[in-house]
A and B are shown apart, each in its own frame.
Chain A
């Protein structure tokens, strides 16, 4: 008991040392759009902002693809195309949604095969314990718009942050559904599932 008690006190001191000595991270939560795009497309020659305007049929198609649990409200879809050597290599979408009370903004990067390349938290305003860890967001990499892209199947939960997990999964499905409808990179070359 004495040993464990001493370890507990030492642990508290060690935590203080870690807290005060840890370096300031350069990226992650609290990115601007420019920072996020630079991180997403480090090799790109240019990143071009585009806007797609969905008609009623296209909006209905996007809603159908996203699924009944995923709201798709806006028909104005702004996206960022990355070009390298004259060829479009990827597209980034910024999805804003509510977690509990406050909004979250995720950047979802989609490749030419219509699969997710990266998901990044650009803005998160809830208390930090509800923030999705980077390792958890890694689950979205290489996911296509298929039934596995669901918090009930292929996407594991975050203990104590279920609303965060569901919001991020819905954002991923919404973005891939809109991506398939507007096809900014042309028809997908890879299996979309």
Chain B
């Protein structure tokens, strides 16, 4: 009987395994596999959440009455942002001037700038940004410090110590961004980089355009001279606010790699100074047209800038300037530079960019009646050099500049620059 039972039992088991379905043990295995799959799914979701951020992955919820997309800005991503840039510059001057006279200019090695950017994001709508700069290793400046509040996704209001939105270099002056070993003369004397003033304004943009418009404390004409506007910067330090100006800029961004636009500043610069009992306005207009193109190894940029100063004769009298030392009523400058990354067709992570540049500047293109122009203010700079970028944030440049002016007193120079940004 037992002998018969066993085959019957095996038969039953075989039937159960093959036809009737899984045993309890197999059911247990299936449940365990399902549980492991569930746990694995949970782990991968958690990895995704940690990687992308919970605010991205989690389901939409409306906050403060906004729709999901609008309320997104309230899903806060707070934190401190730190960046920086710097440059060390060696300048080796020729012994002779353009006219053969001894130059008398000594070579200089300067830790020109070391900058730390500090930002703090209170929410996606509200952020603080600042740049603290040490120049020449021993001069400290607050270069900008502002608060942004996003009114719309693409439009915000900005207030604090602002960079004037003019030219190519004033807002983007990190050494890896421009080709030459030094900032251009045009963007030093006519657009007095780094030009920053206290103010308030709006900024915004879309896929095609970016714009900024600020109301700022104006320059102070007490510092103007024959070589341009640079001395008029108040730098936000106890800045006189008797004269305010407006600054604006519009850039086209619709073609990848291309930035082309224009900017303008307009405002009085007298800052309440009086001459013979009358307030001198000293109206100033600064404008520029600019272009930057970076694609397929090419790095091209050009800028044309001009300035007009009203009441130049009165300002000269107030500043004690006579003869050829007077402030130009009209100033004009332009430059063009071109470079090509000769490693762009290789797999090398390095960039090696030989470049050429040419610049013309005249800060006394027109002078007030009774004054003369200093021929040394009508100058040109031809530059040739190369930039090596072992990483996009680090650059070493070697360049030679030929300086000429109408007074034949130009001094040529070799420059070596080391720059970084992070």
Contacts and interface: CB of A to CB of B under 8 A. Distances in A.
Contacts of A134: 206-207
Interface in B207-221: 207-208, 210-215
A67 B347 contact: yes
Interface stretch (A56-64, A151-159, A176-184): A151-159
Contacts of A163: 392-393
A159 B148 CA distance: 21
A100 B129 CA distance: 14
Question: In which size bucket is the chain A interface?
Answer: 35 or more
Contact of B52 (A24, A96, A147): A96
Contact of B202 (A4, A19, A96, A122): A19
Contacts of B248: 8, 11-12, 15
A166 B152 contact: no
Q: Which of the listed residues B59, B202, B247 has the most CB atoms from chain A within 10 Å of its own CB?
A: B202
A51 B267 CA distance: 61
Interface stretch (B5-13, B169-177, B179-187, B411-419): B169-177
A109 to B, nearest CB: 16
Contacts of B177: 159-160, 162
A155 B256 CA distance: 8
B407 interface: no
Given A32-B56, A160-B177, A27 B310 contact: no
Contacts of A42: none
Contact of B119 (A20, A26, A127): A127
Interface string A131-159: 00111101100000001000011111111
A189 interface: no
A54 to B, nearest CB: 13
Interface string A104-141: 01000000000000000011011111000111101100
Contact of B70 (A24, A67, A153): A24
A156 B129 contact: no
Contact of B69 (A26, A123, A133, A156): A26
B246 A8 contact: yes
Nearest to B128: A127
Contact of A94 (B48, B55, B150, B157): B48
A1 B292 contact: no
A101 B68 contact: no
Interface in A1-33: 1, 4-5, 7-9, 11-12, 15-16, 18-20, 22-33
Contact of A135 (B44, B121, B255, B294): B255
B62 to A, nearest CB: 12
Given A15-B248, A19-B204, A102-B77, A153 B310 contact: no
A105 B53 contact: yes
A32 B59 contact: yes
Contact of A159 (B68, B155, B172): B172
B207 A153 contact: no
Nearest to A30: B72
B153 interface: yes
Interface in A161-177: 162-163, 166
Contact of B53 (A51, A123, A157): A123
A16 B202 contact: yes
B44 A16 contact: no
Contacts of B92: none
A186 to B, nearest CB: 22
Interface stretch (B188-196, B230-238, B258-266): B258-266
A94 B208 contact: no
A123 B287 contact: no
Contacts of B212: 15
Contacts of A24: 70, 152-153
Given A101-B83, A122-B52, A159-B294, 4 more contacts: A11-B248, A127-B127, A155-B256, A157-B295
Give the top 10 A-B pairs by smallest Cβ distance, nearest first: A156-B257, A156-B295, A157-B294, A134-B207, A15-B213, A5-B266, A156-B256, A8-B266, A30-B72, A160-B172
Interface of A: 1, 4-5, 7-9, 11-12, 15-16, 18-20, 22-35, 51, 67-69, 74, 76, 78, 94, 96, 100-103, 105, 122-123, 125-129, 133-136, 138-139, 147, 152-160, 162-163, 166
9 contacts: A4-B266, A19-B151, A19-B157, A26-B69, A31-B72, A78-B48, A123-B77, A125-B121, A159-B177
